[in-house]
Amino acid sequence: MDAATLTYDTLRFGEFEDFPETSDPVWILGKEYNALTEKDDILSDVTSRLWFTYRKNFQPIGGTGPTSDTGWGCMLRCGQMILGEALMRRHLARDWRWAKSPKQRQEYISILNAFIDKKDSYYSIHQIAQMGVGEGKPIGQWYGPNTVAQVLKKLAVFDTWSRLVVHVAMDNTVVIEEIKHLCMPWLDAAAACGESQGLGELNGCMEGACALVEEETALWKPLVLLIPLRLGLSDINEAYIETLKQCFMLPQSLGVIGGKPNSAHYFIGFVGEELIYLDPHTTQPAVEPSEDGQVLDETYHCQHPPCRMHICELDPSIAAGFFCRTEDEFDDWCMRIRRLSCNRGGLPMFELVDSQPSHMVSVDALNLTPDFSDSDRLERFFDSEDEEFEILSL
């Protein structure tokens, strides 16, 4: 049976391996725990993450398409989980904890409604699957990390409630200048005013630009940074392992989407040499919101010990995610990444640069459409489902 079609519906929660008794620190999305004394806190943190799994009996995708994503939607569900974590940070903060309750906070319910399996939800399986068609992925086909990152970037534009900037950093390079212009669009407005008016009028122009933007959003639009990476050929290069673990220790970490070939997971941390992850390979019935807008939310939280796998089993094709609510948080992230790059314990997974290198050409300069006409080329590098692709040289 193909790995992508495996589900764990027959497992009972009691059959999951309990969390290990170890003195090694446990890291969950930027928070450190002691497994010997804080096990309840660890499980509460994991349970509070949004857990999106296969669903069945939802509205047909596209009106006549699938009514279940079992067997093909695991990477789409992982994409929902990493973006769901970003929305939780945006509207509820990292320390928010979930508890069973007939009446939940409105912000939390609004986040869940953004992912409900209906065609009009911002980040539903319907929206992701149909937007993926523009990335060359027919409905029902397995996605890789890069494709789902590109799709989430496009869908976030329509989310007027969260007003996120989702940036997908390509070519293993994060360009600081590019991100700041995306998150602070008033910079471009101020620059345009500076070119068209005298210096004496520039101050007033900047104030006007800021006032205009403040009507719509803050001076910094919260950033979701997704970085598709290839950390080896068929297996992960061990030189990246320590750097990857360090990423889970950053307070801005949203985790990593990846897994094994054709079987995706959402990785949220590590303990020792094991990665901790949420597994979407359980098929549950689709959920309909009640008349008062509340959602039966227990099935959106993993209430058993999280799954673990040895880090060397990770497929080298991944996408790492980070969330920066403010410019200060982004500056702090840049400082931490630069500090990591100076460590000799591991190989940097990507490059952080102030401005765009001369060898990189922006999408705007190429005047490409939002559908990314070169997505097939990108997919062949970043997504391991293209089995015919071979890297001939490094």
pLDDT in tens, 292-311: 777 889 999 998 889 999 99
pLDDT, tens only, 18-42: 778 889 999 999 999 999 999 999 9
145 to 126, 138, 231: CA distances (angstroms): 18, 16, 13
Helix crossing, 375-382 with 145-156: angle to 10°? 130
Mean pLDDT value of segment 255-275: 93
Indicate which residues carry an active-site annotation: 74, 279, 281
Low-confidence winner among 88-92, 239-243, 287-291, 317-321 (lowest mean pLDDT): 287-291
Q: What percent of the chain has pLDDT over 70?
A: 78
What band does 383 get if pLDDT is binned at 50, 70 and 90? very low
Check pLDDT > 50 for residue 135: yes
Residue 6 has pLDDT above 60, yes or no: no
Residues in the chain: 394
The count of other CB atoms within 10 Å of the CB of residue 201 is: 13
> Binning pLDDT at 50, 70 and 90, where does residue 321 land?
very high
Inform me whether the pLDDT recorded for 276 exceeds 70: yes
Comparing 57-61, 79-83, 100-104, 319-323, which segment has the lowest mean pLDDT? 100-104
Q: What is the mean pLDDT of the chain?
A: 83
pLDDT at 212 over 60: no
SS3 state of residue 239: helix
Bridge partners, 253 (sequence order): 322
Please tell me which of 53-57, 187-191, 374-378 the model is most confident about, judged by mean pLDDT.
Answer: 53-57
State how far the alpha carbon of 47 is from the alpha carbons of 98, 100, 111, 204, 301, in Å.
7, 11, 16, 50, 5
**Neighbouring C-beta atoms of residue 394, cutoff 10 Å:** 4
pLDDT > 80? residue 359: no
Residue with token string 């039966």: 296
User: Of 228-237, 287-296, 385-394, which gets the smallest average pLDDT?
Assistant: 385-394
Cα gap 57→67, rounded to integer Å: 5
Quick one: DSSP state of residue 167?
E
- Residue 318 Cα to chain centre, angstroms: 11
Which SS3 state, helix, strand or coil, does residue 117 take? Answer: coil
For residue 257, the model assigns a pLDDT of 98
pLDDT tens for residues 224-249? Answer: 999 999 999 989 999 999 999 999 99
pLDDT grade for 390, boundaries at 50, 70 and 90: very low
pLDDT for residue 280 = 97
CA distances from 257 to 1, 38, 176, 198, 254 (A): 23, 26, 23, 49, 9
pLDDT value at position 174?
A: 97
Whether the pLDDT of residue 168 is over 60: the answer is yes
**Measuring CA to CA, how many Å separate 266 from each of 21, 174, 190, 258, 347?**
23, 22, 40, 7, 23
Mean pLDDT of 178-192: 80
pLDDT grade, residue 371 (50/70/90)? very low
